Amino acid sequence: MFRKYLLFETKLLLLSKKNWLLGLALILFFPLYYSHYSQLEIVDIQDEITENSEQFYEIFDSFPASVWQTQEGKETYANLLEQVGLIFWQRLYLSKEVKVNNPESFFSAGPNFHKFFDAGLRLNELRLELHQKGNKGIRRDHIVPVDEILKENALYQYHKEHELSLVQDPFKASNFIKAALNFISGTLFCILVLLVGSSMLVNDQLHPSVLFGFPISFMGKAISKVGVHFVQIMLFLCVAILIGSYYVAGKAGWGDFRTPVLIYQDADFIAISMLRYLFYMLVAFGLIALLLLFTFLLVNLVTKNLYAAIVIILFVLLSPQLLQAAGVETNWLYPLKFIDISAVLSGDAAKEYGIEKLDFKHAYSWLVVLNLIVIAILYGRNKLMHIRKVETIPLKYS
């Protein structure tokens, strides 16, 4: 009977015009967003390194004379001089003259391939040494944050290990898909899931007498409803990614899906390939979709109103931002931040809440636990309602 009910729910879902329109909107989002994304100004790596090197003029000019005369000041001075030299070599490796005239530049597979990255790793080592000494005498706006140093180190190590060019076209499909997924992560994806899931109980409320007679348990019905809607949402998302990738590839090319993406893990940053990042995002979106669908089912059973259930869930999900805007401490609500999985993977969530363990492993564990809790509540509520119903049935005497 479970299989028949599952097929019945699938047929109802396929007849839902609203869901097909939502799926079409998701598919159209990628090409539409690319028209905006392709107009963005991306900072060139050469310009970034040139800007970093020019800051040293201000660093030396603003350094207090009283500090120069101390032993610590002399060590800092030597450190900064070595940093200047390393940045000079980085600029040299990136210059157009080197790329054109030297066939063994860092872009080739020759012996100079790793020189740019080795210089960058040594540069960051020196920056970390100054952090350990307190950066005495250096203005705050000239100090490179530790997070940025760790991110850069992870990228350089990845490029060295996989022999990938540092300069990548940001508008190719391999780079655009990451930006598009980060954009829809969070509230937008939650709204999409809730709108698609709002059709789960429409027929039950419109035709209660017809559907009440199905000889299947409540949890069987719940799993069937959530299952078919979950599959539809994930299919919409996968098709949208594929069509969006083909569209962007036709405009700018596929790019390299080995391109590194930085993620936050164990209070540090690691670089992974774009394909692995896409897998992480799809798994997270799947867990979030399941959580929202089961939660929507639970809240709707209590409120008996589809729109009220959507508003309540969105209010709960947005409560950390609303409370933070009102000046209320919201660190205890950090599990709700896992809904915005891109912020968790990038480390922004850990920085916002000041919780080092708030990484993607922690997020996945919490999402699984929250799913199990909601399912347990659904099961327990149904059992309790069944017991109460049996207790209220009058006894019949012969």
Q: How far apart, in whole angstroms, are the C-alpha atoms of residue 297 and residue 300?
A: 5
Q: 333 and 221, same structural domain?
A: yes
What average pLDDT score do residues 172-200 get? Answer: 90
Instruction: Choose the final residue of a domain: 162, 196, 218.
Output: 162
pTM to 2 decimal places: 0.85
Question: Residue 161's CB: how many other CB atoms inside 10 A?
Answer: 11
Q: 382 and 265, same structural domain?
A: yes
Does residue 368 form part of some domain?
A: yes
Which residues 6+ apart lie within 8 Å of 37 measured at CB? Answer: 171, 176, 179, 180
Q: How far apart, in whole angstroms, are the C-alpha atoms of residue 45 and residue 167?
A: 7
Question: For 289-322, what is each residue's pLDDT tens digit?
Answer: 999 999 999 998 888 888 888 889 988 888 877 7
What average pLDDT score do residues 52-59 get? Answer: 80
Q: How far apart, in whole angstroms, are the C-alpha atoms of residue 383 and residue 6?
A: 22
Domain hosting 95: range is 45-162
Question: For 247-287, what is each residue's pLDDT tens digit?
Answer: 999 988 888 888 889 999 888 889 999 999 999 999 999 99
Q: What is the pLDDT of residue 110?
A: 43
Average pLDDT value for the chain: 82
Q: Which residues pair with 260 in a beta bridge?
A: 273
Q: What is the pLDDT of residue 307?
A: 83
Q: 212 and 184, same structural domain?
A: yes
What average pLDDT score do residues 38-59 get? Answer: 78
Instruction: Choose the final residue of a domain: 144, 162, 180.
Output: 162
Q: How would you label 25-62 residue by residue, b for 16+ Cβ within 10 Å and e otherwise? A: ebbebbbebbeebeeeeeeeeeeebeebbeebeebeee
Q: 230 and 346, same structural domain?
A: yes
Judged against a pLDDT cut of 90, whether residue 88 lies above it is answered with no
As given in the structure block, the two tokens for residue 160 are 């060295």
Q: What is the pLDDT of residue 97?
A: 39
Q: What is the pLDDT of residue 2?
A: 67
Question: For 109-167, what is each residue's pLDDT tens digit?
Answer: 344 557 888 888 999 999 999 898 888 878 888 888 888 899 889 988 998 888 877 66
Q: 211 and 122, same structural domain?
A: no
Q: 363 and 267, same structural domain?
A: yes
Instruction: Mean pLDDT check: name the lowest of 29-33, 135-139, 228-232, 367-371.
Output: 135-139
Which residues 6+ apart lie within 8 Å of 130 measured at CB? Answer: 76, 79, 138, 143
Domain count of the fold of the chain: 2
Q: How far apart, in whole angstroms, are the C-alpha atoms of residue 57 and residue 344?
A: 37
Q: 239 and 124, same structural domain?
A: no
Judged against a pLDDT cut of 80, whether residue 243 lies above it is answered with yes
Question: For 370-398, what is each residue's pLDDT tens digit?
Answer: 999 999 999 888 888 767 665 555 544 44
